Amino acid sequence: MSGQAVTMRGTGDGWARLDGRDNALNAIRLALALLVVFGHSYVLGYGTTPPLPGIHDRAVDGFFVVSGFLIAASRARMPIGPFAWRRALRIYPGLWICLVVTALVIAPATAALTGEQWTLTDGASYIVANATALSPQWNIGGTLASLPYPTAWNGSLWTLTYELGCYAGVAVIFTATKRRVEVVGGVLVACAVLTVLNPPAMLVPAVRLAGFFAAGALIYLLRDRLPCTARLAVVAGAAAVAFYLLGERAFVALAPLPLAYSLLFLGATLRCRVGSRNDISFGVYVYAFPLQQMLVAAGAAALPVPAFVALCVAATTALAWPSWLLVERPTLRLARRQPTRASRYDTDAELTVAAGAGHVTLQPRKWLATFGPGW
């Protein structure tokens, strides 16, 4: 990534390295976003399955793992009000600008290439319908009909609904109970069981993504008791690969914890700081799909696959970078201006009983650095 050496370092500090910016979590999220671009290039450009089937779906699972860890950490540091405010500012401003660019720039340009009809009314309807990220509208009037994938302008947006649902779940659990390990672990087990039992189709995405999110959150909650070692990471990574080879259902049911452990271990130990200050992973994720549709309309899919993928990445970065500089980073700075006093349910304030004395003392740990924004 950007010519920067990627090396491993010792694991003496364990999960504490995931505190602050001195970790590789944003680099991992960017790599996952690029895997989504890679997988979608085959689906959108050629109507085929990528060489690693479902690799873009597995990348999304990885997103939810990292997000689960970071969102649990965020909620532990602050009351529910500031937590909700920061989460909203991380998602919505960037999403709204993406919707405007898609509906009013990318869609009409694509329609001009394909000869299909685009109207301002259809574009405005798309923006309004998708503004909450809760009930997506996939198309804009009669556009996309002539493309290999005519179903959606931005198929990546479906995950935002579940991301917001997971945020709400963390907010409720951290407010309602101190038995968070048991509750989050119960969610993880329930998702695995439901997957094995083959839930109704409408529940499959929620069950899948909630399981991976819960796995990341559980690693956060157990960070003081769970060893952070290369040996366990290798075993966990091998298990995740094995479950991937067994198929979709096996992966969704059994891989959340192994995937969470291996990805978060890499985040703690890789010496790669790409994205630590300028995190374009969200922009890459939300802009790639509509740009790929436009590039297909322009005939770019006639290129060899590697060239098409490279073109998609370049075009996406050209929008993701200003999205970060002009929209996402300024709104995150606005979010940080709101004071975030410690919550009375803060997991970083633990009650301990003094041995032999029978009295209770409060021993808060000092987590002074700021986690990178999870999305």
- Mapped onto helix, strand or coil, the DSSP state of residue 217 is helix
Cα distances (angstroms) measured from residue 47 to each of 157, 195, 315:
20, 28, 20
Q: What pLDDT, on a 0 to 100 scale, did the predictor assign at position 359?
A: 38
Q: How crowded is residue 349: how many other Cβ atoms within 10 Å of its Cβ?
A: 14
Q: Are 50 and 295 in contact (CB under 8 A)?
A: no
369 domain-assigned: no
The enclosing H or E element of 93 equals helix 80-101
308 domain-assigned: yes
Q: Which residues of 20-59 are buried (b: 16+ CB within 10 A; e: fewer)?
A: eeebbbbbbbbbbbbbbbbbbbbbbbeeeebeeebbbbbb
Q: How crowded is residue 167: how many other Cβ atoms within 10 Å of its Cβ?
A: 23
- Give the closest residue to 95 by CA, choosing from 318, 312, 331, 265: 331
Q: What pLDDT, on a 0 to 100 scale, did the predictor assign at position 170?
A: 96
Q: Which residues contact 264 (CB under 8 A, 6 or more apart)?
A: 15, 18, 25, 65, 66, 69, 216, 219
How far, in Å, CA of 118 to CA of 216, rounded? 42
Q: What pLDDT, on a 0 to 100 scale, did the predictor assign at position 354?
A: 34
Burial of 236 (0-12, 13-18, 19+ CB in 10 A): buried
Q: What pLDDT, on a 0 to 100 scale, did the predictor assign at position 340?
A: 52
Interior angle at CA 57, CA 271 and CA 272, nearest 5 = 5
The encoded tokens of residue 186 equal 């119960």
The encoded tokens of residue 306 equal 């590697």
Burial of 351 (0-12, 13-18, 19+ CB in 10 A): exposed
Q: What pLDDT, on a 0 to 100 scale, did the predictor assign at position 355?
A: 36
Q: Which residues contact 39 (CB under 8 A, 6 or more apart)?
A: 50, 52, 54, 55, 56, 57, 59
Q: How crowded is residue 344: how many other Cβ atoms within 10 Å of its Cβ?
A: 8
Domain containing 136 equals 14-364
Domain count, the chain: 1
How far, in Å, CA of 254 to CA of 277, rounded? 34
74 domain-assigned: yes
298 domain-assigned: yes
91 domain-assigned: yes
Cα distances (angstroms) measured from residue 117 to each of 55, 107, 128:
34, 10, 19
Compute mean pLDDT per 10 residues along the chain, 375 residues long, and list them.
42 72 88 96 93 94 96 93 92 96 97 94 96 91 92 95 96 95 97 94 95 97 93 97 95 97 94 80 96 97 95 96 94 72 42 36 37 43
